[in-house]
Amino acid sequence: MNREEIIDLSKELARVVLDEDTLDQYYEDVLNEIGMEKNAPLTDVVLVDLVADNFDYLLPSDAVDIIALISIVDIVSKTCRQLTPSTSAALEAYDSDWRSLQGNPYFFTREERNDRYYRLVPEPEFSSSAFIPTTGTPFGINMPDNSCALIYSVRRDTDIPDWLALHISLRMLAKEFDRPSDHQDKDFAQACVGVANVFSIIGGL
């Protein structure tokens, strides 16, 4: 299903006239909330070309949150690691000079950054090697050395699985009927949350 179909579904389930712009905002809010949850159902992966002496990297435009960053030092020897998400305080405890460290990244942090950026620590010492697709496996043996695979949750408007579309619609309705209005119905809002949770279990959220 797509965004418009989910909004239409919400209108049909509500049985009252709902404001289109408000529903549109609820859709954005719910997609962001789902993207921040532990088992985010909408995900993607992208190769990150590292640049020597550059620690700041921009998230994709459709990204909600980082699920994992995998650093590939040498694909032949399978030298790779999952970077550890960290805070400024934790990095300070690790090394008080963490902002000037250089080498292979072990951590990433989104503190002290614009919310669309993340910082690699240590700062990459080497740039990624060229991507030469000889076998058509960019996340396999063709993955460039000194690069990262960014796995992230996404916010999108199309190709929403049916079970998730109903889950999103019910959470949108819960927001609408919980707020003060001439059709406020907290019992119905709570029921929407309960049924949405059933679909989240079905979908493995």
Burial class of residue 50 (count of CB atoms within 10 Å of its CB; 0-12, 13-18, 19+): buried
**Model pLDDT, residue 76:** 59
pLDDT digits (tens, 9 = 90+) for 113-135: 788 999 999 999 989 887 665 55
Question: pTM of whole model > 0.75?
Answer: yes
Across 93-161, the runs of DSSP E, i.e. the strands, are: 102-103, 107-109, 117-121, 123-124, 147-154
Instruction: Quickly tell me which residue has 């700041």 as its tokens.
Output: 56
Q: What is the mean pLDDT of the chain?
A: 89
CB environment 12-47: b (16+ within 10 A), e (fewer): eebeeebeeeebeebbeebbeebbeeeebbbbeeeb
pLDDT digits (tens, 9 = 90+) for 12-22: 999 888 999 99
Q: How far, in Å, CA of 68 to CA of 74, rounded? A: 18
**Model pLDDT, residue 141:** 62
Domain ranges of the chain: 3-39+157-202, 43-154
pLDDT digits (tens, 9 = 90+) for 41-97: 999 999 898 999 999 999 999 999 999 999 887 655 657 889 999 999 999 999 999
> Is the pLDDT confidence value at 199 over 90?
no
Portion of the chain with pLDDT greater than 70, in percent: 91
Pairing of strands 43-49, 102-103: unpaired
Backbone angles phi, psi at 128, to 5 degrees: -65, 145
